[in-house]
Chain A
Amino acid sequence: MNDATSPGELGSLAQSARTKQLKSARGILLFVGILTLAINAFFGSQARTMVNAEIEKEIKKLPFGTEVDQGKVDELRETAVRSVQMSSFIAAGLGVVFIIFAMMVYKYPVPITIASLVLYVGSAAVFGFLDPATLGKGVIIKVLIAAGLFKAVQAAIASERETQPMAAA
């Protein structure tokens, strides 16, 4: 299947609907990919600022007069910064994968749509594990995106079967 194939050429309303679903899947993947890449690139660049803010918050919670081991705090700070940067790097890489998938979805619709759905649901779970508060944020959008990707999977499978009919011996 290639980008030059238009609904008109395929000459089938059902096929036209499936192509539209693949187009919307491409849009979803581009949206999710760019958003994931941008957000995690930002978090990675702001890692030190965010970690410092969190450490200051924790220190302020300590009872007045508590002695803070500055050496340990600095070590913890560096470890936390590295953890955030590494996690952001991996997550940003996932965003790049979604963008690449968006560009390849017409060429390999079935594996790309299934892989996208698997990675999207998996990444939602991973981010939910890291910060359970994110699970509730934008849950409706997440469900809509997952549903859109699943519809794209079904459309891709049906589309592939129609464009490659069996030859009886």
Chain B
Amino acid sequence: MPNSQATVIDRHANTVVVHVLADRLDEANLSAVGDDASAAGAESPQLAVVLDLARVGFLPSLSLGGLVQLAQLFKARGQRLVLTGLQPAVRTTMAITRLDRLFEVKDDASKLQT
């Protein structure tokens, strides 16, 4: 189970939760987060991957492309990717850029875990 400095990963019965540790997703850490999420999903292809962004206070526009590529990767695998823990500023960015329509977003992903 990959565990870089960018994320902490928890495994549950039905999900793999990738907790993002940084307070913003940007060029410095987006690649590592994407790699961790991708690897976690590849190790457990039958489970949904939950990307926990509870600590992320800001999503710069430069990182949106990376998130979209991650979504496209999971879609190509036929694996579910869920975003959770969105702070208000991140929600706003997702709404303005209409990415909230490209991603599955859950306020509470715990129900997926059992």
- Are A and B co-members of a single complex? no
The chain B residues found within 8 Å of chain A, CB to CB, are: none
The chain A residues found within 8 Å of chain B, CB to CB, are: none
